[in-house]
Structure 1
Amino acid sequence: MKTAYVFPGQGAQFVGMGKELYESSPKAKELFEKANEILGFRITDLMFNGTEEDLRQTKVTQPAVFLHSVILALTSDDSGKPDMTAGHSLGEFSALVVAGALSFEDGLKLVYKRALAMQKACEVKPSGMAAILALPDEKVEEICASVDEVVVPANYNCPGQIVISGSLEGIEKACELLKQAGAKRALPLKVGGAFHSPLMEPARQELAEAIESTSFSKPACPVYQNVSTIGETDPKVIKANLIAQLTAPVKWTQSVRNMIADGATHFVEFGPGNVLQGLISKIDSNVSVSGKQ
């Protein structure tokens, strides 16, 4: 029986996130204040009292979700440590910090760098993402490959739920074809750009430099990365996978299945929302899931 800690990505944010944690834990308050100092602005003001519009900006969303998740896990009174960790997209940085592969400070700096680089890449070409429901993965892959614009599977969330990513024209064409093929829904998402697609290449290059110059340690437990889907402990491999992640799909379904195959029986989601708990239950209803916010 093993416990896995999992961490959400962008989209889980909400106004007031982390406020209760800040007010109830001196250690949490200290870490939040350290984050304000590192970032050079009071992100806590935006998290606790900002508007939904404030929190939707990628440069705010990513560090906000990261901070809520990581500080929650680091100050948790859960006895014992996780046997493995994983995070969905941005959440992978949280998973690496909690597993001890990255320091809190370096994790936050990389997340902020990633957010700024992605924001910049989004401004180069109008792009987006769409959720596709109730079609086999292979069918979605086949249809995306048939479109002559940039459009690729970006998030394998759970069986029957894939998110595609690409240019606005590519998304529009693919959604039409996917509906014709029997998709229950092909729904464009309110996101700033084509995350986890070739259109993120400028951001990948920018982030690669920052990751290469950051010190990574061997984590205390395996981290199941989005790109490889298996438990990684080698800092060199972890770095390479983290760099590849921006333009590669998030293979969440495959990662969770591998964690279960390696003995995970209980998953705890740390951070805003409960999206991952729902996805894990759909991937395998025999495991237990819980969450901390």
Structure 2
Amino acid sequence: MADSLFSRIVSWASDVCELDLLKIMKNEHNELNKTVYVQPAIVTVSYGIYRMLKRDLPQLPIKGMIGLSLGEYAALIASNSLSFEEGIKLVADRARFMQQDADREISTLAAVLDPQLQEIKELITAQQENGQRVYIANYNSPRQIVVGGALTDLKATLKKMEEDKLAKRTILLKVNGAFHTPFFNGARQQMHNRLQTVDFHEPQIEVISNTTNSLFHCENLPGILEKQLAVPTHFGANVKELVKYAKIDTTLEIGPGKTLSRFAHQVDRHLNTQHIENLVDYENFIKEQKDGTDR
């Protein structure tokens, strides 16, 4: 993205976390397949685009923020709950802790489409009682959850789901580990210690936690962010919360892909979902907003 402010933020983040983020973003050697690289890169891109928006659309109304797991860190930095420098250092350490757990044992995730949720919960409980290490990791929307676990255990559970017709479809995901399950309790413990060193401030824009589905506050941030690594996320419930209490009618997803916009629309089909991934998206969004203001 050829914008001077964005470029300065990428350069700043690279210096702070001692990674060449511009090279990583080019992904010439599949760097973005590694947790330790992709997390600082995504937060830097998200925050860079946000800063551009604040520069070019200072009156853009923001009623609240949510992010799926890692996205919470970009939201907390954007809301001034922690500085960009401290935030990107924290994200780099979080990614390193998670990479260590991912490398320790092979685990992965699978998307479950149109799930029969109660029956799947009962199946997973039964599998766990039989010694299978499989868990629900994400409640993304009414139409999608994600389950994770040891590869063999997860495949057996997915097969059982298909046999019992508990979902329309299941898809193994190309990810580095079974995030938001007990497989990341090691990273959780390391984050407990790391978070004690962070200087948090009260968010200036409301940010809803994936973990608790309630607002982040200065005093609860360390406990929630530690816990977040190894327990399920609730993005769909977060969207409902914004619709119900903040009365939002539009969402803006910042970062790669349109997955979260799709989840938001599955939660409430009346939402106007917008997305910025690159400079073309950004310029189109700015033009649309300014044209709307001029009318």
Normalising by structure 1, we get a TM-score of 0.88
Give the letter aligned to residue 94 of structure 1.
A
Alignment of 1:53-92 (within 5 A): 53-76=30-53, 77-78=56-57, 79-92=59-72
Alignment of 1:105-120 (within 5 A): 105-120=85-100
**Mean Cα displacement is larger for which, 244-253 or 119-128?**
119-128
Partner of 2:286: none
SS in structure 2 at match of 1:281: helix
Establish whether residue 153 from structure 1 lines up as the match of residue 131 from structure 2: no
Give the letter aligned to residue 76 of structure 2.
L
Partner of 1:125: 105
Q: Deviations for 1:69-127, whole angstroms, at most 9, x for unmatched residues? A: 11101121232352211100111101111111111111111111111111100122221
Any runs of at least 4 consecutive aligned residues in structure 1 with deviations exceeding 4 A, and if so which? none
**Partners of 1:70 and 1:271 within 8 A in 2:** no
Gaps of at least 5 residues in structure 2 are: 278-295
Q: Deviations for 1:106-156, whole angstroms, at most 9, x for unmatched residues? A: 111111111111110012222111111122222222211111211111011
**Partners of 2:143 and 2:266 within 8 A in 1:** no
Q: Percent identity?
A: 27
Give the letter aligned to residue 221 of structure 2.
I
Normalising by structure 2, we get a TM-score of 0.88
SS in structure 2 at match of 1:250: coil
1:284 to 268, 275, 282: 268
Partner of 2:122: 142
Gaps of at least 5 residues in structure 1 are: 1-19
More helix by share: 2
Give the letter aligned to residue 224 of structure 1.
I
Establish whether residue 177 from structure 1 lines up as the match of residue 157 from structure 2: no
Partner of 1:15: none
Partner of 1:5: none
Give the letter aligned to residue 192 of structure 1.
N
| Cα distance in 2, alignment partners of residues 245 and 215 from structure 1 | 19
**Partners of 1:136 and 1:160 within 8 A in 2:** no
**Partners of 1:150 and 1:167 within 8 A in 2:** yes
| Cα distance in 2, alignment partners of residues 96 and 181 from structure 1 | 41
**Partners of 1:96 and 1:219 within 8 A in 2:** yes
How many residues get paired?
269
Alignment of 1:1-293 (within 5 A): 20=1, 23-24=2-3, 26-47=4-25, 49-51=26-28, 53-76=30-53, 77-78=56-57, 79-147=59-127, 148-182=131-165, 183-232=167-216, 234-262=217-245, 263-293=247-277
Once the 2 structures are TM-superposed, how far is the Cα of residue 30 of structure 1 from its aligned partner? 1.5
Once the 2 structures are TM-superposed, how far is the Cα of residue 236 of structure 1 from its aligned partner? 1.6
| Cα distance in 2, alignment partners of residues 134 and 80 from structure 1 | 35
Give the letter aligned to residue 189 of structure 1.
L
More strand by share: 1
Q: Deviations for 1:179-204, whole angstroms, at most 9, x for unmatched residues? A: 12212212211111110001100011
Larger radius of gyration: 2
